[in-house]
Amino acid sequence: MNLTHYFSLSLSAILIENFIFVKFLGCCPFFGVSKKTDTALGMGVAVTFVMTVASAVTNLINTYILKENFAYMRTVAFILVIASLVQFIEMFLMKSMPSLYDSLGIYLPLITTNCAVLGVANLNVSNGYDFISSVIYGFSAGIGFTLAIVLFASVREKLEYADYPKCFTGFPIALVAASLLSIAFMGFQGLKVF
């Protein structure tokens, strides 16, 4: 496990296998809170934070408590850990960093049902990452999510003024825009040299 390994791991999580555009994880908040750039950024930061901490905690739980014997409990254990972690982070931020808490506001509790968080925990296990790789993977996946949602929000802000068929109003046109962004991200497949 050298530096090149960590670099290619994070590059792959951010660009080549972007959670939203390639793996389809975390689409609900992606479409739900991408109407404005600043709220999208807030959501991205909150998700990155939770994903990093969740990767660390679930990795420890999987290695030291569940092991191979209780593998069937993985889904239940992970979702409980993530739900309580989000609750804990919410209380912690409310007490110690009220300004950050206010800006994240309603997005924090929503993260529990963001499948990108449970997805990253499951991927860490199925790819057999050790502790440090898990944390780096979780953090990079969060950065990739943030990048995608902020780019998409800025596209959507411009879409407000666009002229398109009436039946595409709202969600369908957002999906078409996401499709175009996804084509752009396909270009990063060429980076798979590492």
Partner 1 sequence: MSAFVKQLKEGLLTNNPILVQLIGMCPTLATSTSLKNGIGMGLAVTFVLMCSNLVISLLRRFIPSKIRIAAYIVIIAGFVTIVDLSLQAWLPDLSASLGMFIPLIVVNCIILARAEAFASKNAPLPSLVDGLSMGLGFTAAISMLSAVRELLGSGTILGIPVFGSGYTPIIMAILPAGGFLLLGILIAIFQHLMNRREKKEASK
Q: Are 133 and 6 in contact (CB under 8 A)?
A: yes
Between 56 and 110, whose beta carbon lies closer to partner 1?
A: 110
Query: Is residue 61 near partner 1 by the rule CB under 8 A?
Result: no
Part of the chain binding partner 1 (CB under 8 A), chosen from 35-43, 61-69, 137-145, 177-185: 177-185
* 99, 167, 187, 193: residue in contact with partner 1 (rule CB under 8 A): 167
**Min. distance of Cβ 181 from partner 1 in angstroms?**
8
Q: What angle do CA 150, 175, 172 make, to 5 degrees?
A: 130
Query: Is residue 191 near partner 1 by the rule CB under 8 A?
Result: no
Q: Are 134 and 52 in contact (CB under 8 A)?
A: no
Q: Are 34 and 153 in contact (CB under 8 A)?
A: yes
Query: Is residue 26 near partner 1 by the rule CB under 8 A?
Result: yes
Query: Is residue 35 near partner 1 by the rule CB under 8 A?
Result: no
Residue 107: exposed, middle, or buried by beta-carbon count in 10 A (0-12, 13-18, 19+)?
Answer: buried
Part of the chain binding partner 1 (CB under 8 A), chosen from 7-15, 46-54, 136-144, 175-183: 175-183
Between 3 and 167, whose beta carbon lies closer to partner 1?
A: 167
CA atoms within 13 A on the CB side of 30: 25
**Min. distance of Cβ 66 from partner 1 in angstroms?**
13
* 115, 150, 155, 159: residue in contact with partner 1 (rule CB under 8 A): 115
Between 1 and 183, whose beta carbon lies closer to partner 1?
A: 183
**Min. distance of Cβ 139 from partner 1 in angstroms?**
20
Interface positions with partner 1 (CB under 8 A): 21-28, 31, 72-76, 79-80, 83-84, 112-115, 117-119, 122-123, 126, 165-169, 171-176, 178-180, 182-183, 186
